[in-house]
Amino acid sequence: MHKTALLFAGQGAQTVGMGRGWAETFPSARAWFDRANAALGYDLTHICFAGPEAELTKTENAQPGIFLVSWVAFELLKEHVPGFEFAAAAGLSLGEFTALTAAGSLDFADGLRVVRQRGRFMQAACEATQGGMAAIIGLDEAATRDACTEAGVTLANLNCPGQIVISGAADRIGPACELARAKGAKRAIPLSVAGAYHSPLMASAQPKLQAELERITLSAPSVPVISNVTAQPHTTPAQIASRLIEQVTASVRWEESMRYLIAQGFTRFIELGPGTALSGFMKRIHKEAQLLTVADAASLEATVQALRQ
């Protein structure tokens, strides 16, 4: 008997057309997209379905767009597998908000609006600073951390063995990559991003996000939801808010979060939302895990069939 955890996509997974097939096929999905537009007061659905890509890629649209499509994936999975149960959830960066919503900590409309505002605040922080990020491939955490310390940047995402993302001032990313290569990294690749996510350069977004979270009701989750900041389950509503604010500038401890779930006996992981990045990470963390995805009509059908067996 598999113990199932849900994984929710983070920024970067967005793709023009995401969710459109579901909306055209399932009235329930179309209703969620319409509800999202009403909650936000603008046509996010059109941006998800038709782009243009430059508009969808904007942080203020990408974050709520991924939240929305991931949520629809979750609702469709429940609709197609009556009695479906999961015992934990986690999400990469903004995906943590989706995970908390799936676990009942946030109302859907509140979660969507907060994520939209989070995207706007982070975009503003990007525009006010000169930041960048890079992927470091094939170097362990300790050596990557040393390179970051020497270059004056920070660890942003600890995704899986051999893949770490660094973040900081744009003029320090190049030197950090050179240091990483000198320490044995197979590759050090600057990323095309708007700014230095999960670094101190995002600090201006934190008080604004705190004000948004104070306007909504947070509840204790119905199942454990793993914090990106601590790689441990969230506890009280007050602690959830604190961790979500801290997450804006803190490292995403994804590999450690997944290892926590594996240690708790989880063997099946269902990735919900656009893309399959989280499944790719898990293949490098724990090859024996059963991996399912709900990203489009075909993967929904395959996952439904697997769960019915």
Q: Where are the domains of the chain?
A: 4-127+200-308, 130-190
Average pLDDT over residues 79-83: 96
- What band does 1 get if pLDDT is binned at 50, 70 and 90? confident
The pLDDT of residue 236 is above 80: yes
Mean pLDDT for the chain? Answer: 97
Separation of alpha carbons 43 and 22, rounded Å:
17
Q: Report the top-level CATH class of 4-127+200-308.
A: alpha beta
pLDDT at res. 143:
97
* This prediction's pTM: 0.97
The pLDDT of residue 77 is above 90: yes
- What band does 307 get if pLDDT is binned at 50, 70 and 90? very high
pLDDT at res. 309:
82
- What band does 24 get if pLDDT is binned at 50, 70 and 90? very high
pLDDT at res. 192:
85
pLDDT at res. 81:
97
pLDDT at res. 131:
96
pLDDT at res. 195:
92
pLDDT at res. 300:
97
Task: Quickly list H helices, 215-253.
Answer: 237-247
Catalytic residues: 93, 198
Q: Are 69 and 48 in contact (CB under 8 A)?
A: yes
Q: Are 86 and 307 in contact (CB under 8 A)?
A: no
Q: At what angle do helices 27-40 and 108-128 cross, to 10 degrees?
A: 50
User: Which fold, 130-190?
Assistant: Alpha-Beta Plaits (3.30.70)
pLDDT at res. 188:
97
- Fold identical between 4-127+200-308 and 130-190? no
- Residue in the structure block whose two tokens are 């994984």: 7
pLDDT at res. 158:
97
Of 95-99, 188-192, 248-252, the poorest mean pLDDT is in 188-192
Which amino acid is residue 101, in one-letter code? Answer: T
Which amino acid is residue 22, in one-letter code? Answer: W
The pLDDT of residue 154 is above 90: yes
Average pLDDT over residues 115-122: 97
Dihedral angle, C-alpha 126, 248, 258, 267, nearest 10 °:
-90
Average pLDDT over residues 168-190: 97
